[in-house]
Structure 1
């Protein structure tokens, strides 16, 4: 008789740099998220169309493989799921407006920032009774 695993929140990481994508994925997995990783906005949009309601956090770079930018993806993602937490990152100044509720992080950002956002989101999902890590 196996015990069922607790339901983990899902995060979508959209980054065309494989090392960045892997690092962000590891940070989120460490914070008890199941991670779906994509290198293009088009691939991420397919995920959002299929299981967008299950994804609670999306982190995307502005410049991605494919024809769509991370800013365009942020707008599309909010249409699929208005409650989705969206973080858009770039090493360049942001020249387009983001959808309401989306955040912009200039690179380089600190890995601890990813963990903080992930753990706040997980706490909100699982309620205040969830144990927190000590800093």
Structure 2
């Protein structure tokens, strides 16, 4: 019989800027995450609805391609996955409230911020090994 693979945390990155999306993806992959990257909140919502993914971290920009913005996506994610760690980023002040427990980061933020958030999320998530 094969050995079971240890649980790897999954992060969902939602950013319509390709360079930012790729940078965040690379940082999280280097932090031992599986990463699902989406350009729109609608695509991310499909991922959140799909069984089998154990997404522990959502990082989303506010302004995205499509009709739904990142704050709306944060509310959807928290409603469906109450324990998910949510980080919403924008270069502008928020005009909508975030769901409880979600964090807001002003742009520009440093890559080290992503690495720290990834580490904190892993420490708070059981069954990772």
Give the TM-score normalised by the residue count of structure 1: 0.88
- 2:91 counterpart of 1:85: no
Mean CA deviation greater in 79-88 or 3-12: 3-12
1:74-98 deviation line (CA, Å, top 9, x unaligned) = 0111111111110000011111100
| Structure 1 residues not aligned, in runs of 5+ | 131-135
Instruction: Tell me if the contact between 1:62 and 1:69 (Cα under 8 Å) persists in the aligned partners.
Output: yes
Which residue of 1 is the match for residue 29 of structure 2? Answer: 29
Equivalent pairs, count: 128
RMSD value over aligned CA atoms? 1.8
Question: Helix, strand or coil for the counterpart of 2:37?
Answer: strand
Instruction: Tell me if the contact between 1:53 and 1:81 (Cα under 8 Å) persists in the aligned partners.
Output: no
Instruction: Tell me if the contact between 2:88 and 2:103 (Cα under 8 Å) persists in the aligned partners.
Output: yes
Instruction: Tell me if the contact between 1:12 and 1:44 (Cα under 8 Å) persists in the aligned partners.
Output: yes
Instruction: Tell me if the contact between 2:62 and 2:88 (Cα under 8 Å) persists in the aligned partners.
Output: yes
Which residue of 2 is the match for residue 16 of structure 1? Answer: 16
Question: Helix, strand or coil for the counterpart of 2:28?
Answer: helix
Question: Helix, strand or coil for the counterpart of 1:123?
Answer: helix
| Structure 2 residues not aligned, in runs of 5+ | none
1:1-135 mapped onto 2 (5 Å cutoff): 4-51=4-51, 54-125=54-125
1:12-66 deviation line (CA, Å, top 9, x unaligned) = 0000011100000111111111000000000000000113861000000000000
Question: Helix, strand or coil for the counterpart of 2:58?
Answer: strand
Give the TM-score normalised by the residue count of structure 2: 0.92
